[in-house]
């Protein structure tokens, strides 16, 4: 199981917060059978251990008029990988960067306000990456399934 390092109560807390990060300590306490104060202490411990990294609102770019969401597979030379990661990390339209196995070294997600902004990203950033041997781009047409957080 994914959460072997957590006891049963912590697993329930993580599961509840994954489904609804706005769940109150009281709600979690009712579901787990512990006090609100105990829930708070456990959540703080999970945060300090890095098990829970952040709480955030998830915006669906397809519901925003004109937004374009796409994935890039970028193959780069080993000696330029760090520089490529730095360049991509600094770009505000890049939302996710993953180091992956296989020929493509990086899997990158971007959300642009328009097709024009996506074209600028391609021309000014992606096409000019140092040591990039190959890059493929896939525009997302629709979201069919998108699991947030850890599958418990």
Q: Check residue 62 and give its pLDDT.
A: 67
The answer to whether residue 13 sits within a structural domain is: yes
Residue 33 bridge partners (DSSP): none
Closest alpha carbon to 46 in 6, 4, 1: 6
Closest alpha carbon to 8 in 40, 36, 31: 31
CATH code of 24's domain: 1.10.10.10
Q: Are both 80 and 108 inside the same structural domain?
A: yes
Per-residue pLDDT 10s for the chain (152 aa) are 455 678 999 999 998 998 888 999 999 999 999 999 999 999 999 999 988 988 877 776 667 677 888 999 999 998 999 999 999 999 999 999 999 998 878 999 999 988 899 999 999 999 999 998 899 999 888 888 877 665 55
Domain span at residue 18 reads 8-48
Q: Check residue 1 and give its pLDDT.
A: 43
Report the residue count for the chain.
152
pTM score = 0.66
CATH code of 81's domain: 3.30.70.920
Q: Is 28 exposed, middle or buried (0-12, 13-18, 19+ CB in 10 A)?
A: buried
Cα–Cα distance between 59 and 98 in angstroms, integer? 20
The answer to whether residue 116 sits within a structural domain is: yes
Cα–Cα distance between 25 and 40 in angstroms, integer? 6
DSSP state of 64: S
């Amino acid at each position: 199981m994914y959460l072997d390092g957590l006891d049963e109560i912590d697993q329930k807390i993580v599961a509840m917060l994954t489904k609804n990060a706005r769940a109150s300590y009281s709600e979690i306490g009712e579901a787990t059978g512990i006090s609100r104060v105990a829930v708070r202490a456990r959540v703080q411990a999970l945060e300090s251990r890095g098990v829970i990294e952040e709480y955030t609102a998830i915006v669906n770019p397809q519901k925003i008029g004109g937004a374009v969401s796409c994935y890039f597979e970028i193959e780069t030379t080993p000696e330029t990988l760090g520089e490529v990661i730095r360049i991509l990390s600094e770009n505000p339209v890049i939302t996710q960067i993953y180091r992956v196995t296989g020929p493509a070294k990086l899997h990158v997600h971007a959300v642009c306000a328009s097709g024009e902004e996506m074209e600028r990203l391609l021309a000014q950033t992606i096409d000019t990456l140092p040591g990039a041997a190959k890059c493929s781009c896939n525009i997302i047409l629709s979201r069919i399934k998108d699991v947030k957080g850890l599958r418990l």
